Amino acid sequence: MKTYQKLLSILVLILALAGLSFIAYFGIGDNFEGAVKSIKLGLDLAGGVSITYQTVEENPSSQDMDDTIYRLQKRVEGYSTEANVYKEGDNRISVEIPDVTDANAILEELGQPGTLIFMDTEGTQIITGNNVESAEAQAYKDNAGTVQYVVSLELDEEGAASFGEATTRLVAGSEEARRIYIIYNNEVVSAPYVKSAITDGSVMIDNMESLEYAQKLASTIRIGAIPLELKELRSNVVGASLGQDAIKTSLVAGAIGLAILGVFMILVYRIPGLAATFALALYTLLMLFLLSVYDITLTLPGIAGIILSIGMAVDANVVIFARVREELKKGKSVDSSIKDGYSKALSAILDGNITTLIAAAVLAFRGSGSVKGFATTLALGTCLSMFTALVVTKWLMNLFYHLGAKVPGLYGLPKDFKVFDFVGKKTIAYCISILVIGAGLVTMLVNQNSGKGAFNYSLEFIGGTTTTVTFNEAHDQSDVETNIIPVIQEATGVTEISQQIVTDGSNQVVFKTSELSLDQREAFVTAMVEKFGVAEDAISAENISATVSSEMKQDAIVATAIATVCMLLYIWFRFSSVTFAAAAVTALIQDVLVVIGFYAVSRISLGNTFIACILTIVGYSINATIVIFDRIRENLKAMKASRAEIVNTSITQTLGRSINTSLTTFIMIFVLYVVGVASIREFALPIMVGVVAGTYSSIFMSATVWYVYDSFKEKKNAKKNSKAEA
């Protein structure tokens, strides 16, 4: 590489990092595209309200569903320009309104949309709510200077014609017959008097006693002005301050984690580690850029997905660097070692990342809400990690080489691990695994028999209402039970209330109850504000019906099963052997059972993120297992040795990679656990346990189990062949 080419390469690197940093801060154009501040935040970060409705009618027409969605969309756009209404399945509608300050008031106004009709005194229907295009409360001064409160309605063309015909008929009748009854869900909410014929579709209901009364009537008319009657299945109210805390702590966790990773990579891998550190910085900037440009909604689990994928992005680099070191040890030149190292690491990197993408794809299609956010960022991060490892890091390593880093010592030489007899010690490893799994299963049985339930299920799996309150000061267990819970019981009328104090210095307490009505939820908030001085935006609530929770539980099982089967089919295809797939299944079962047992022992809330947690661990564990299987496949062709020797050698050769990758991933999750908010901590802790379990199973179980299965298969085939010869 000539001098000008070196300088040009350095300039390209500097410009790329500087340009992406500039875009991340300032953005491009009037809409600030690409900037971090332009990233669309989910409700759990921006604060706001989300509601899932189900139609009372079992099989509504697609036209009625479309009309209902359109009218709801127009209604909620008045609260936020980012509000969104979309269809779920055949008979459900979800409403999301981020960045609003009085979410409970919105819930009350949206209410549970029902039927609205206008009738005359004889009971003849004049128009329905579908004919009302808008309903607004207004105030004005009459000629005497008195403030009058009215409700102004605008009708569609069909409604205007029907209303004009009816009012023309009514003004010609008796005075009492001139009334029009506005009926919402079989209840008369107003009975205005017709003074004159109204034929232009503009209706004004006057003589309202107050502006609040007029607003309430206008709200009721708007609620009923949709084609379908809806019932609330699930709602979630998040205070903006809680979301902001989550953003700050997650960003701090990401920055700290990246810094630690950079130092670790440079100390362990030297020049390649420096290249990987630059690549990780570029990876992070590209991730933020793509989130903004493609308008991907960032949620709290989504942030976890990004930080987790940063940790996993190191894996590809570690696999490559280990291969480069092995080539250097053979006496090859640095440039040849880089080239051959990348070539030999490619299959393991592709296989490992494809299995992770399979898990992410299943989560995206079978998961819901926050789980989809996690899946999106994990998939995006996995694709970016392959690009940065296979393209950017390689380019940087070649650049550093041509800049003068040609001494093999700058790239490190592999440590000579003594080949350990993993196969000979397999029984001990299996017994340890059985004991750990057994402890979890026993805990589940004890919990179940004691009446606590095998797991501490969250609302997603049992239904009900959970309310997270951030108090102005910390409260201990006794104080919560003695002074706070009685206030809640009196306000809501609910006697069964469980609580959990969040022990991270945030002054948060989580209360769980049976499903609360909107009035009960408002009473809860009012009690917290008036009795304890809690700010309204420091209270978040989630309400889930038993119907939805049952479906979520089923989706969790199906998603895990589909993802596992797909990943194992891929392994079977890539390694052309059922024994590799069977061994991977055994190791995965161990990992999943260990994590499930941990949920039982720790009593961490088991909910929707459990799916993401399990599939992340499954993908991570398979990723580690594939690297070992890839080496076994290579050594089966290259080594003339027994199966046991090949397995022991393959595990030993990949041991450094297994330890370093697990350590870097663990570091990222650990920082997230230490710095993150309570909901992130509940997500991070089981993953840390899963990383340890996955590392153990990939080193001590997967390859030795393959050895057992393959030996059994060989004996069976030999026996079959001997019978055939006889």
Higher per-residue confidence, 553 vs 627? 627
Predicted pLDDT at 314: 80
The single-letter code of the amino acid at 558 is V
CA distance 222 to 220: 5
Q: Is 68 exposed, middle or buried (0-12, 13-18, 19+ CB in 10 A)?
A: buried
Predicted pLDDT at 165: 94
Domain boundaries, the chain: 1-29, 54-104, 115-225, 244-411, 426-441+548-723, 464-544
pLDDT digit string, tens, across residues 489-502: 999 998 888 887 87
Predicted pLDDT at 243: 58
Predicted pLDDT at 25: 67
Predicted pLDDT at 606: 79
CA distance 389 to 88: 38
The pTM for the full model equals 0.72
Higher per-residue confidence, 696 vs 216? 696
Span 244-411 CATH architecture: Up-down Bundle (1.20)
Is the domain 426-441+548-723 a CATH 1.20.1640.10 member? yes
Decide if 199 contacts 164 (C-beta within 8 A). Answer: yes
Decide if 89 contacts 101 (C-beta within 8 A). Answer: no
In the predicted structure, residue 434 carries a pLDDT above the cut 60: yes
Decide if 355 contacts 622 (C-beta within 8 A). Answer: yes
Predicted pLDDT at 112: 61
Strands 92-98 and 116-120 turn out to be: unpaired
Confidence bin at 360 (pLDDT 50/70/90): confident
The residue ranges of DSSP E strands in 476-560, in sequence order, are 498-501, 508-513, 539-544
Confidence bin at 646 (pLDDT 50/70/90): very high
SS3 readout for 642-687: CHHHHHHHHHHHCHHHHHHHHHHHHHHHHHHHHHCCHHHHHHHHHH
pLDDT digit string, tens, across residues 579-636: 888 898 899 889 989 999 999 998 888 776 777 777 777 777 887 888 899 889 889 9
Predicted pLDDT at 703: 93
Is the domain 464-544 a CATH 3.20.20.70 member? no
Cβ neighbours of residue 313 closer than 8 Å, sequence gap 6 or more: 280, 283, 381, 384, 385, 388, 389
Give the H/E segment covering residue 554.
helix 546-575
Token pair of 691 as six digits: 């990383």
pLDDT above 90 as % of the chain:
20
Cβ neighbours of residue 573 closer than 8 Å, sequence gap 6 or more: none
Helix ranges restricted to H, 209-299: 211-224, 240-269, 271-293
Rounded alpha-carbon distances, angstroms, from residue 110 to 133, 310, 463, 492: 16, 41, 22, 21
Q: How far is CA 242 from the centre of its chain?
A: 17
Rounded alpha-carbon distances, angstroms, from residue 303 to 40, 381, 550: 12, 11, 27
Across 545-554, average pLDDT = 66
pLDDT digit string, tens, across residues 70-126: 778 877 877 777 788 888 778 888 888 877 766 667 777 676 666 789 999 888 999
116-129 burial code (b ≥16 CB/10 A, e <16): bbbbbeeeeebbbb
Confidence bin at 647 (pLDDT 50/70/90): very high
Predicted pLDDT at 152: 93
Rounded alpha-carbon distances, angstroms, from residue 621 to 31, 138, 588: 42, 62, 7
Across 480-497, average pLDDT = 89
Q: Is 296 exposed, middle or buried (0-12, 13-18, 19+ CB in 10 A)?
A: middle
Decide if 595 contacts 584 (C-beta within 8 A). Answer: no
Across 540-566, average pLDDT = 73
Predicted pLDDT at 280: 86
Predicted pLDDT at 173: 83
Predicted pLDDT at 247: 67
Q: Say whether 50 sits in a helix, a strand or coil.
A: strand
CB atoms within 10 A of CB 4: 8
Decide if 48 contacts 238 (C-beta within 8 A). Answer: yes
In the predicted structure, residue 17 carries a pLDDT above the cut 60: yes
pLDDT digit string, tens, across residues 43-65: 767 777 888 888 888 888 887 88
- CATH ID of 115-225, from 3.30.70.260, 3.30.1360.200, 3.40.50.620, 3.65.10.10: 3.30.1360.200
pLDDT digit string, tens, across residues 256-302: 888 888 898 899 888 999 999 888 888 888 888 888 888 777 776 77
Domains 115-225 and 426-441+548-723 share a fold: no
Decide if 159 contacts 132 (C-beta within 8 A). Answer: yes
CA distance 618 to 101: 40
Confidence bin at 242 (pLDDT 50/70/90): low
Comparing 207-211, 366-370, 507-511, the range with the smallest average pLDDT is 366-370
Predicted pLDDT at 428: 95
* Residue bearing tokens 């589940």: 444
Range ranked top by mean pLDDT from 262-266, 304-308, 671-675: 262-266
In the predicted structure, residue 726 carries a pLDDT above the cut 60: no
Query: Phi/psi of residue 239, each to 5°?
Result: -70, 140
- Provide the Cα torsion 373, 376, 378, 381; round to 10°: -130
pLDDT above 70 as % of the chain:
89
Q: Tell me what percent of the chain is helix, strand and coil, each rounded to the nearest 5.
A: 65, 15, 20
Mean pLDDT of the chain: 83
pLDDT digit string, tens, across residues 189-204: 999 989 999 999 999 9
Q: Say whether 367 sits in a helix, a strand or coil.
A: coil
User: For 138, left (φ over 0), alpha (ψ -120 to 50), or beta?
Assistant: beta
